[in-house]
Every structure is written in C-alpha cells, then in structure tokens.
Amino acid sequence: MATIRVPDEVPSPAQDSETLNKAFRGWGTDEKAIIRVLGKRNESQRKRIRESYKEIYGKDLIDDLSSELSGDFKKAVILWTKDPAERDARLANKVLNDKKKTIEKLKILVEISCTSSPNHLIAVRKAYCSLYDSSLEQDIASSVPFPLAKLLVTLATSFRYDKEKVDKEVATIEAGMLHEAISKKQLDHDHVLYIIGTRSIYQLRETFVAYKQSYGNTLDKDVDGCPGDADLRSLLQKVILCIEFPEKHFAKVVRDSIEGFGTDEDSLTRAIVMRAEIDLMKVRGEYFNMYNASMDNAIIGDVSGDYKDFLMTLLGSKI
C-alpha cells in the first residue's frame, strides 16, 4: 500500500515541467515547488515529466536537479525522479564498486533481488547492462568473494512465478532439504540455492511454515545457529527476512538509519524512496508493531529542512 498522495487533478507534464524550470530560475531555487510537483507524482507521471522537460527545454531534468539542489535533499529527489530500474541498477553498482564491500552493503543486493517483482528485477538487470556495459551477475561474480557471490548471483538472476499458487507437499519436501543442508553445515549447498533462488515468494513462505512445523524452529533461527561462514549466514538470514516479511525488513532499515549517533541518510532515503509506491503504509505499521513508536515522528525528530519535508511528502503528509 503506497503512501504518496497524487492530487485528484494533476497538471499536464508540460505544466509540471514549466513549474520545475521556473523553480530553477532566479536568485535561488524554489525547493517547495519541486517537492510539491515531484513528491506528488507517481512513476508514470514522473517519466512523462522527464520526457516533457527534455522536449521543451532541451535539457535533462536530472542534470538540472543535480546542479540546483544539494545535500541529502538532492540525493533523495534525484533517486525518486529516476526510472526505478535505473535507480536500483545504480544502487547495485555503487555497492559493487565500493572498496569496502561490507556485509551490510551487500544486503542491499539482497534487498533489490528479493523485494522486487520478477519483471522489475529483469528491468534492473537490463538497465545495469545499458549503463555499465556489463551484466549485474558478472560484476557480482568478479567483485564479491565466494560463497557470497554464489548466493547473490542466484538471487539476481532469478525469475520467480508471481502468483499465489502453492504446493504444500513440495513445501514439506523442500523444508526437509533445507534442514538437511543446515544439519550438514552446508548453507551454500546447491539444494539451498535452487530452492531460495527459483521458488515463488508464496511457495517459499509456505516452505518456511512447513519447516517450523516439521523441525520446531524457524528457518532463520536454525540458519543463525549453523556453524561456518558468518557472512554467508547473515546474508541468508536477510534473504529469509526479505522474502517472508519485506515490510519488517524496511522498518528495520528505517530504524537502524536513525538510531544511535548520527543518521544514515542514504539508507533512510533508500527505504522511503523504494517503497513509497509499493508498501510503505505496511512498513509504517510494522515499525509501530516492532518498536512501539511512530515511524513518521521518528523521522521528523531526526532530519530537518527540505530533506525532511520531501520524505514526509512521500509518506503522505501535507507540507
């Protein structure tokens, strides 16, 4: 359930383009106008605005936003305005080009692979090839150590059935295969990768239920207790969470970004931007259930200025 509020009557792409261009002119930028337009337009509307802006002014809207805005507000607006597939391709490339590929950074690849629709993930891979003259799976394989790369490539190249049909008998059988792999301390076993990387989200959730019914513990708990590669264990647990409870995952991303000393604005922006048109309403609910606190109030108390106003607009607030 999305949180952005698109007005009942939306100006034409040409009118929105004119409003944005006017916001860039003069002695300073009209940030409120930018928020008012881009923060209240859905994906298809933003695409038409980008196209119209290019046609009318002969310039790229993203380039003008980049030159006129600054700081975390600029990053958030640009991430929101980009085509979603290009956005996620660039996020993945940034992770893979980071000299310090921490397990927390690699979890962004899990996030993209396991919380996207099958068609969106294909679009991300196509955008990646177009942008970087290389495939996402090739860059994962060449820059991430084994066995983490083995898992990440499997996830990035998956094309899952997206209907709710499940087979309970298969779920029970494959729960047994997962349990056997964990018992043998083989989290990167081909059976694990095959099940995690090919089954539909709904089938996997049924398998997770069957696992607990058969073996007493959740799959996540048994993976956590499995000796061996700690990074692989952590990555696989993130896969399970993103598949089983994507809303809880993003609620945790938001919480972790604003807890403690300082704010991780990049993570906060990513979570809000990625889910504002998908399930941010559910993320907000899970945040309250998990932390007994308002996600909106937590964000308001941690960030400020135009950046805060833009995030809150994506969350559906009236600014």
User: Where is the binding site, in residues?
Assistant: 24, 26, 28, 68, 258, 262, 302
**Shortest CA distance to 47 belongs to which of 80, 8, 71?**
80
CA distances from 228 to 188, 193, 225, 240 (A): 11, 17, 9, 18
CB 254 within 8 A of CB 271: yes
Query: Would you list which residues are annotated within the binding site for Ca(2+)?
Result: 24, 26, 28, 68, 258, 262, 302
CB 219 within 8 A of CB 239: no
Q: How far apart are CA 268 and CA 271, in angstroms?
A: 5
**Shortest CA distance to 46 belongs to which of 35, 37, 36, 57?**
37
Q: How far apart are CA 251 and CA 269, in angstroms?
A: 12
**Shortest CA distance to 89 belongs to which of 62, 109, 68, 67?**
109
Type of residue found at 216: G
